Structure 1
Amino acid sequence: MHKISIIIPIYNVEQYLPQCLDSVVTQTYPNLEIILVNDGSTDSCPQICEAYSEKDSRITVIHKQNGGLSDARNAGFNIATGDFISFVDSDDLLSPHFFQKLFQALTTHNADIAECEFKKFANEEEIKYFPDKAESSIKVFESEKMMEALFKGPLHVMVWNKLYKIALVRGKLFPVNRISEDVFWTYRIYGEAIKTVKINEELYFYRLRDDSIMGSRYSIKRLDSLDAYEEKIDYLKMKFPNLVQDVRKAYCFVLIDNYIQLRQHNEVDPDKFHRNIILEKIKSYNYWTELKKWRWKDLVWYKLFLWSPNGYASLRKYMDKKSKRLNVQK
């Protein structure tokens, strides 16, 4: 039976770690190598890791100085011995069939990557049980269609709802000291893959936390995602030029979102240094040969921002609230 290596970076999540590990060790696919990377936790996580390793011989624990999420994943990479590899965040939960179904889909279709749908939750009451479909629909993506699906959907950029062939990702380390590490890493992996399969079933459960990196107050580190987008565009120009236009448009709206965030958190950029740089990049899109390929809705939003950033931000906020109300009513 093929071995699956699972890398779980851990930092100060004592409240959630046992539930996460319980969902991993009870998987229906048994041949697992579970690598727990304690990234300098100052709470009881080191003791929790050791306790689980004593009960389950499949678990290996690494204790290291705090270096961040990417550094922890890389540390697990260095000792992984499986034929396939997966990443799990230490506050999330898995369906009991997560690895069984991903492995079956990947091997049946001779794919390089398998991914599933995921469900966001704030507390366990929202997922009292893990629904299991007897049969899940599977879609296959190849070559440029695979990359297009990654940027437009239904494939996702995050690394944790997937199973990879180890040969595909071996040696491809995550960027250290950057946030949005998934954005830096995933597109390069997909760019070298030949085939990906997508399971239309929620098998991964992603915990929403206010104190998480992306859930916390806006900081200048969020601008790392802009560097990731620029690197991605340069990469696509070389390997998938037909996709550059769509990704450039997406990047433009990421720039706009960060500009609005910096306006709302003036203390982060008091001298407007970053805002001015971002604004010039946004304005660089304002010519007809670029905009004529956009959908009219995107064009209207873009022009509204140029005319009135405050008006853009207010209308976006209103539309988001309206959308949330409609979703609740459903």
Structure 2
Amino acid sequence: MGQPHYGILGGVGQVSAKISVIIPVYNASGPLPDCLQSIALQTWTDLEVLLVDDGSTDDSTGICRSFCEKDSRFRLLQKENGGVSSARNLGLKEASGDYIAFVDADDWLCPEMLEHQVECLEKDGSDMAMCGFQEAGEAERRQFRRDCGTGESTQLLKRQDKKLSDKKPPDKENADKERRDGEAAGMEETYPEHISMPVEAYVAEYLLAGNTRCWSILFRKEILQEARFQEGLTIGEDLLFLIDLLPALKKVSLIKTREYCYYINDDGAMFSGFKPAYMDQITCWQQAREKIKLLYPDYTAKADISLFQAALLTAGKLALLPAEERRAMADYTEVCRKAAREAARDRMVRRGLPAGYKLKGLLFLLAPSLYLGLYHHWKGRR
């Protein structure tokens, strides 16, 4: 497959279209008002905001109702607790907009994000437009609240983008950090501010490089068709959703500007200790590999590299457990080992792995217990 050609594109005029913003809500009463306020302040005003209350037991439902009473664009949908995928799926079923966006309840948007994405889609004729994101913490949240209180919300983009571009990300062990760092570098250093690319390039250079989020993307509704999130998964559901869209995609737009504020939640799945549900990321990459093998066989090795890395990252979570707990989790360790061995069969995969993964992976495959013990000791000394 040859090197793709990327078109560099400029600004465009205004168009008329409705955006359906789908927000799963579950016990998010603390950060939720900031999220909803940031959407209410969007410069693109033709919105349908679907608040999917996934069986909340805190004040989230009341907060949603309050916004619905103040702003007719907001609509509350309530359901029994079933997880983020089932909440998003209900939102997709109810959405009536020309475009669809997903926002997590603890994140927030800079004021022009949706407008920029619509303009980008219309100019490029793309099927989805993805912007960059900022990692944000409580300091940035307080600044957001101050700006809203003083009527300076239109300055959030420039102020926060400059502040967070100079900020060193938190030094935390998590499965997403490496791909976030690589993605930010790729978007900011390799490409101009705004590009479009064929779907093959998106798959090779972004999706299979670990850029597997569905938030910060604006989708044309027609490409979603009957696409739904796979329920019962806690990690990796975004990846499978995006892969299921590939047959309908022709062109993808990428916007360098980081207008989605991604809240660093210390209690989130990526930062927490090992839980059995963490094995979902291996399951998802195994499913993804089989789908990529059918759709883009030339990229099977790239999918295997991602599977190998997911297995090692999951094993790293297991390694942080005390020795007795690690021994009790031996079955999970073996699942990680089998997945890594399966992925590394191809010589192209072994050659394509980063140097650190080659060394760690070899030790893990040959002596998993020794690897986990050394990893635990190494992390404990940091």
State the TM-score, normalized to the length of structure 2. Answer: 0.76
Please give the residue correspondences for 1:231-270 in structure 2 after superposition, counting only pairs within 5 Å: 231-265=287-321, 267=325, 270=328
The alpha-carbon distance between structure 1 residues 126 and 25, as it changes in their structure 2 partners (threshold 3 A), is: closer
Shift of residue 301 of structure 1?
3.7
1:169-191 per-residue CA deviation (whole Å, 9 max, x = no partner) reads: 13211111211211221222244
Which residue is equivalent to 1:309? 371
- How far off its partner does 1:284 sit? 4.2
Pairing 1:5-44 to 2, within 5 Å after superposition: 5-44=20-59
Map of 1:176 onto structure 2: 231
> Of 197, 208, 214, which residue of structure 1 is paired with 2:264?
208
SS at match of 2:270: coil
Alignment of 1:288-303 (within 5 A): 289-290=347-348, 293-294=351-352, 297=355, 298-303=357-362
Cα distance in structure 2, aligned partners of 1:167 and 1:51? 32
Q: Distance in 2 between matches of 1:68 and 1:177?
A: 7
TM-superposed deviation, 1:148:
0.7
Amino acid across the alignment from 2:339: K
Residue 277 of structure 1: how far off its partner (Å) = 2.9
2:186 aligned residue:
none
Structure 1: gaps (5+ residues): 322-330
What is the Cα-based RMSD across aligned positions, in Å? 2.6
2:81 equivalent in structure 1: 66
Is the alpha carbon distance of 1:109 and 1:46 closer, same or farther for their aligned partners in structure 2, counting shifts above 3 Å? same
Q: 1:232 to 1:187 in 2, by over 3 A?
A: same
Pairwise CA distance, 1:257 = 1.7
**In 2, are the aligned partners of 1:301 and 1:312 still within 8 Å (CA)?**
no
Deviation at 1:258, TM superposition (A): 1.3
Residues 126, 88 of structure 1: CA spacing in aligned structure 2 closer, same or farther, 3 A cutoff?
Answer: closer
Mapped partners of 1:82, 1:145: distance in 2: 28
Distance of 2:215 and 2:29 partners within structure 1? 20
How has the CA–CA distance of structure 1 residues 123 and 46 changed in structure 2, closer, same or farther, with 3 Å as cutoff?
same
Q: Distance in 2 between matches of 1:28 and 1:296?
A: 42
Q: CA deviation at 1:139?
A: 1.4
Amino acid at match of 1:282: A
Q: 1:296 to 1:65 in 2, by over 3 A?
A: closer
Q: Tell me the amino acid that sits aligned with residue 169 of structure 1.
A: L
CA distance in 2, matches of 1:15, 1:43: 10
C-alpha displacement of 1:28: 0.2
Identity %, equivalent residues: 26
Aligned residues: 317
Name the counterpart of 2:115. 100
Shift of 1:152: 4.8
Q: Please, which of 198, 210, 227 is the counterpart of residue 142 of structure 1? A: 198
TM alignment of 1:38-187, pairs within 5 A? 38-125=53-140, 128=143, 130-132=156-158, 137-153=193-209, 156-180=211-235, 181-187=237-243
Unaligned runs of 5+ in 2: 1-15, 145-155, 162-191
SS at match of 1:33: strand
Q: Using the TM superposition, give the Cα deviation of residue 280 of structure 1 relative to its aligned residue in structure 2, in angstroms.
A: 3.0
> What displacement does 1:196 show?
0.5
Of 277-286 and 9-18, more deviation after overlay is shown by: 277-286
Per the TM alignment, residue 6 of structure 1 is displaced from its structure 2 partner at its CA by: 0.5
Separation in structure 2 between the aligned mates of residue 248 and residue 283 of structure 1, nearest angstrom: 10
